Chain A
Amino acid sequence: MSNIVLQVENLHTSFFTRAGEVKAIDGVSFYVREGETFGIVGESGCGKSVTGLSILRLLPEPAGQVTEGKIILEGKNLLELSKKEMRAYRGKMISMILQDPMTSLNPVYTVGDQIAESVRLHQDLPENMVEAEVVSALRLLRIPDPEMRIKEYPFQLSGGMRQRVVGAIAMSCRPRLLIADEPTTALDATIQAQYIALFEDIQAKTNVAIIFITHDFGVVSRICDRVGVMYAGKILETAPTREIFKAPKHPYTAALINSVPQLDKKDEKLFSIEGQPPSLLNLPPGCRFYPRCTVSMDICKEQEPPEVKLDDNHSVSCWRVK
C-alpha cells in the first residue's frame, strides 16, 4: 500500500450566522493515498465543498470556522500552521480546481501570467526558466500549442480549454493533493469524458492524491478508487467504488446509485429521493437521513447510528447494518 497523503479526522466546521450555528460539517473522517482518487458524493449543500475549503483553510471568515478535528497532510496538522505557513502550502502542496471554468480565471490577465504567478511564488526558479515551467504545466494538461496559449486571455478560450488552464494552474507546482470541486459539472458530456481521462493521465504521471467532489455517481464510477457518501455534514458510508456499486449498505447510498441513469437497465424506473435534506441549524436527534429513509426503524428517530467497520475499507453508519 502506498503512503497516506491526507488524513482528515473528526472534522467539524460551522458557520456562525445571526440565526445561530450552522454545522456544515459534523465529524467527518477520511484519508487519501498517494496516486489514489477519493470521491466525496452528495447532494448540493451536504457540505462537500465546505470540506474542500476547510482543508485549504479558505472558509469565508469570520463566519465559517473549523471547530474541531485534525487535517493531517504528510504528517503535518494543517490546522496548527500559522497563516503564513498555510499560504506556503496552498498551491504548492495542495491545490484545488473550482467548478465554473468561465469565472475561475481572472479576465484581465493572460493564461501564461496566471500560471507563471504560481510558479514564481512557490518554485525558486530563475526568471528565464519560468516560461518553460508554464509550458510544461500546459503540456501536462494536454493543451495544444502551449507556447501560443500563454499569450491568450481567458475569454479567447472555450470552456473545456479554460478548465484545462485551471487544471494547469492547480498542477503547476506538482502538488501532493488536488481537490477537484465538481470540475466537470459545467462541461458538455464529451468534454467531460475527455477531462476525466485527463485526470487519470495526470495522476499516472505525478502520483498526485485527488479528492474528487461531485454530486454525480456516474462520474464517480469512472474516476474514483474509493468513495465517501456525504449527507447533511456527515459521511454515511465509505467504501471502494466497485464494492459500493455492487452492494451499497446505506439506504441513502443505494438511493443515490439508483438515481443514476444506466444504459443496461433501460426499463427500470429512475429512482428519486423524496423530501429535502434537514436544516443544519437545528439537527434533530437520531439519524439525519431518518425523515427521508424508506426503511427506517424506531431507533433511527432517537439515536444517531454509530460507524460500523465492515472491513478495513468499508464502513457505514446505519442501524440496519450490524
Chain B
Amino acid sequence: MTRFIIVRILQAIVALIGIAVIVFFLVRVSGDPMALIASPNMSEEQYQKIKESLGLDKSWGEQFWIYIKDMARGDLGESLIREKPVTTMIGESMPNTLKLTVPSFVLSMILSFFLGVMAAIYRDSFWDQGVKFLAVLGQALPVFWVAIMAVLIFSVYLEWLPVAGMSTPAHYILPVGTMILFMLPGMMRLVRSSMLDVLDSEYIKMARIKGLPERSVIWKHALRNALITPLTIIGMLLPSLVLGAVISEQIFNWPGMGTMILQATFERDFPVVQSITMLTAILVLGINLLVDILYAYIDPQIRYQRA
C-alpha cells in the first residue's frame, strides 16, 4: 500500500514537470510575451526595463529554470496589469470561490448519491422517471442559459432573489444552484446505473437468501459496491467544477478566482493565467492521487494487488 502511494506521488511529480514544460513553452512558442505587453507608445527604455524585470532577456532554458525555482518557493510571479503578486491576487479571491464551490460540491454529491440510489431502488417508479427526466434535461440545456432564465424569473419578474452580491444567504441560492446543475445530472445518472448493476447481481440475491432485511441489503451490501465506479470518476468532475465556478461567478458578479482569471485572460495577463493553470494542474494531480487511494481503500482487490 505504502509503495503504491509513493509510486503514485512520484508519477504525479513527473506529470507536473511535464505540464510545466508544456505550459511554459506554449506561452513562449506562440510569440514574444513582450508583444502581448508592449504598447506602441512605450519608449525603448521602458520596454527594456520591463523585459529585464520579467527576466525575458534571458535564454528560454534559464527562464524555465527560474520559473520552476520560483514556483517551488511558492512565488508565482507578478501580474503585468495589476502589479501585484499573483499569490496576493489568489489570496484575495480564493475565499469567495471556496464559499461558492464547497457548498456546491458537497450538495451536488449528497443530492446525486441520494437521488441516484433512490431512483435505482425504486426503478421505473414515478420517482425514477423524474430523476431520468431531470438528467436528460440537465445534460442538454446549457447551464449558463438556465441560470440566466432563473435570474429572469426569480430576480427580474418575481423579485424573490437578489441578482448579484454575496451578503445574505439568499444571495447564494442562484449561484450555488447554477454550480450544482453542472455536476448533478451526470453524477446522478452514473450513480443510478451503477446501483442498478449491483442490485441485479448474484451477491445481492445471496444477501436476501440469508434473510437480511432490505435495509442491510441495500445500505451494507449494495451501496459500497455501487460507490466504486462513481468514485473513480470524481476527478473528472473538476472540469465541471471549474467551468461552473467561472460561469456562476461571471453571471452573478461574484468576486472570486473565476472572475479574476477571466479578467486576466482578456487583459492577456499571462503570468496570472499561467500560474493558475499550473495550480489547477497540481489540483488535478492531487485529486487523482486521492481518488486512487480512496479507490484502493474501498475495493479490497486493488488494495491487495498493488500492496
Contact = CB atoms under 8 A, between A and B. Distances in A.
Q: Are A and B in direct contact (Cβ within 8 Å)?
A: yes
A6 B171 CA distance: 67
B8 interface: no
Interface string A30-61: 00000000000000000000000000101000
Nearest to A119: B210
A121 B221 CA distance: 15
A201 interface: no
B306 interface: no
Interface in A166-183: 166, 169-170
A106 interface: yes
Interface residues of B, number: 20
Interface stretch (A90-98, A234-242, A306-314): A90-98
A108 interface: yes
Q: Say which size band chain A's interface belongs to.
A: 20 to 34
B206 A98 contact: yes
Interface string A80-91: 000000011111
Interface stretch (B151-159, B286-294, B297-305): B297-305
A107 B225 contact: yes
Interface string A91-122: 11001101110011111111000000110011
A308 B150 CA distance: 75
Given A107-B299, A107-B300, A98 B213 contact: no
Interface stretch (B49-57, B83-91, B197-205, B253-261): B197-205
Contacts of B212: 87, 91, 117, 121
Contacts of A105: 203, 206
A68 B301 CA distance: 45
Nearest to B300: A153
Is chain B's binding surface mostly helix, strand, loop or mixed? helix
B99 interface: no
Interface in A52-77: 56, 58
Interface string A130-158: 00000000000000000000000101100
Interface string B58-98: 00000000000000000000000000000000000000000
Nearest to B200: A60
A86 to B, nearest CB: 8
Contact of A91 (B203, B210, B225, B298): B210
Contacts of A88: 211
Nearest to A102: B202
A89 B203 contact: no
CB-CB nearest 10 A-B residue pairs: A90-B211, A91-B211, A104-B202, A91-B210, A103-B202, A106-B203, A153-B300, A96-B209, A118-B210, A155-B301
7 contacts: A91-B210, A98-B202, A104-B202, A106-B206, A107-B225, A118-B210, A122-B211
Given A108-B298, A109-B221, 5 more contacts: A103-B201, A103-B202, A153-B300, A155-B304, A166-B206
